[in-house]
Structure 1
Amino acid sequence: MMKAATVCGVPWTLENGGCTALPLPPDETIAGVARAHVANLLPKAGVHDTAEVTLMVSELATNALQHGTPRSADGSRKPSAGAELWVYRRGDGRGRQELVVKIFDELRCWRRRPPTGPMPEHGRGLDIIDMLSGGRWGHHASRSRLRSPQVSGKATWFAVPVRAGRGRPLSPVPAHAIEELGALLADRGLDAPLPVAPAGLAVGALTVWCERDAFHWCDQEGELTRMPVADITEVCEQIVQLHETARQGAP
């Protein structure tokens, strides 16, 4: 089953600037399910090197199963609703588009090597992703999309370029962009984002403004971030990350 967030009555999918999301099985079929779903989306997104992308998807999914699944003291997997696969488009900050593939799991950090160690245990899968993506990958605190109520965890991602000639995804009308962002954030379970005049939104201690076709906000360190309204899905992701980091005090 595929879920697309609904904003102001409009279903947001990969084709119109939103995010497709798929629940993944909590067993060894996870890589095949994730790979098949992404492979079906690549032609629509205009992505080259489909073999490399599907390999990275397999590694990302396997990593989530092996190193992002809650376990009991004896090492056995705890009952879990499984990971979530998210796919969306965004600007790469250099005037081009890229496809982002993320997998959400319930653990904020990877399990560490016994007894303790400074580096998280994540196997070779992320090394492969680092090589094939040219270092365009990472992980961050996040919240689930498909569960009710939403749960906290992390999202691990990679990004690949979208073929030249493919247009930018549709974006919200600037006059309604703050309203639509508020709906997306509420759908992620953030506590009552509140409108702030003339075109802002208060999300906890953070205020997001929209003017001249762009969102902008300052993080806790006072660093300004500015992103176009066309990247509303990525804006939502970054604000969720800031919210989760501030709420739980973890990187």
Structure 2
Amino acid sequence: MSGTLIGLETATAAVRSGACVASAMALTPASVSDARRRVRTVAEELGMSSTLVDDLVVITSELTTNALRHGGGRLVCHGGRPVAGLPELWLYLRGSKRPELVTTVFDTGDFWASAVPAPASGRDVIGEDGRGLQIIAALAEAAGGQWGVHPSRSRLGEQRLAGTAVWVALPVSEPVRLPLTRAVGPDESIGRLVELLRSRGVGGLIARATGQEAVLSLPRLTVWFRQGTYIWQGTTGRLSADAGDVVDAAEQIIAEYERAR
């Protein structure tokens, strides 16, 4: 379930299975059209309306353009070839009662949410780069979706580097995600979360499980798994995610981990 580099022809199937599909983006203008094409294909195959697909493509253009402009600060090269630090496009599904396609663009630029907060509406974002955020916020809001910014870590390359993730979640039609074929117990559920966090370079993990619950300790953060739900205390209060949303839970936990650092 970790981020993987997957061809366009299999991306939607991977997303349906619960995986996060991650694609590295070269620091060239062509990456904008490549990202738009990938997002359009997945969104259409998931049954999103043409209006939502078009809105998501515009949002992807804004996200990708910003990442290419600001996100090459920690590029790692070997032999003149980039091996870590390229901007990344992530796609995955979350939610069962209200399924959403989460589209995220990550770059290794410094996390800037403290200087430019992500508002519920983009109308109070100012400045040249703020106009792009205004478009993202307005389209997400009109579509009944959500958007945000948080610190994160890369999924691809030879190193896991810190940076900034800007995401948009738009509703999709049901059924879009393959259901869990069986109940997942606390031990396996916490193990899946540990696997995802370790794949992103998060260390210092201590996990234990009993018959009814499991707990995972990270530096300055504790995650519980009880009755099919991950639970943790974030900077904004108590947060939770269903067992099927382990990819999204891991991303939110990484954001808390990076804030604590």
Shorter-chain TM range is: 0.7 to 0.9
Structure with more of its chain in helix, by fraction: 2
Alignment of 1:71-220 (within 5 A): 81-91=85-95, 95-109=97-111, 122-134=129-141, 136-163=146-173, 165-171=174-180, 173-175=183-185, 176-198=188-210, 199-219=214-234
Structure 1 unaligned spans of 5+: 6-11, 72-78, 113-117
Secondary structure at 2:129's aligned position in 1? coil
Answer whether contact 2:111 2:150 (CA < 8 A) is retained. Answer: no
* Offset of residue 220 of structure 1: 5.7
**CA RMSD of superposed structures (Å):** 2.9
TM-score scaled by length of structure 2: 0.77
Q: Distance in 1 between matches of 2:204 and 2:241?
A: 22
Equivalent AA in structure 1 for residue 67 of structure 2: A
CA distance in 2 between counterparts of 1:154 and 1:121 reads 19
Deviation at 1:219, TM superposition (A): 3.0
List aligned pairs for 1:30-109, cutoff 5 A.
Answer: 30-48=31-49, 49=51, 50-70=53-73, 81-91=85-95, 95-109=97-111
How many residues align? The count is 225
Partner of 1:115: none
- Relative to the length of structure 1, the TM-score reads 0.80
CA distance in 2, matches of 1:107, 1:59: 16
Matched residues in 2 for 1:193 and 1:38: separation? 34
Structure 1, 119-128 or 101-110: larger mean CA deviation: 119-128
The Cα offsets for residues 22-71 of structure 1, whole Å up to 9 and x where unpaired, read as 00111211211111111121133222222221111111101111233439
Q: Structure 2 regions of 5+ residues with no counterpart?
A: 7-12, 75-81, 116-124
Letter in 2 for 1:53: L
In the aligned structure 1, how far is the partner of 2:230 from the partner of 2:45? 27
CA spacing shift, 1:82–1:126, aligned 2, 3 Å: same
Equivalent of 2:253 in 229, 239, 243: 239
What SS does the aligned partner of 1:186 have?
A: helix
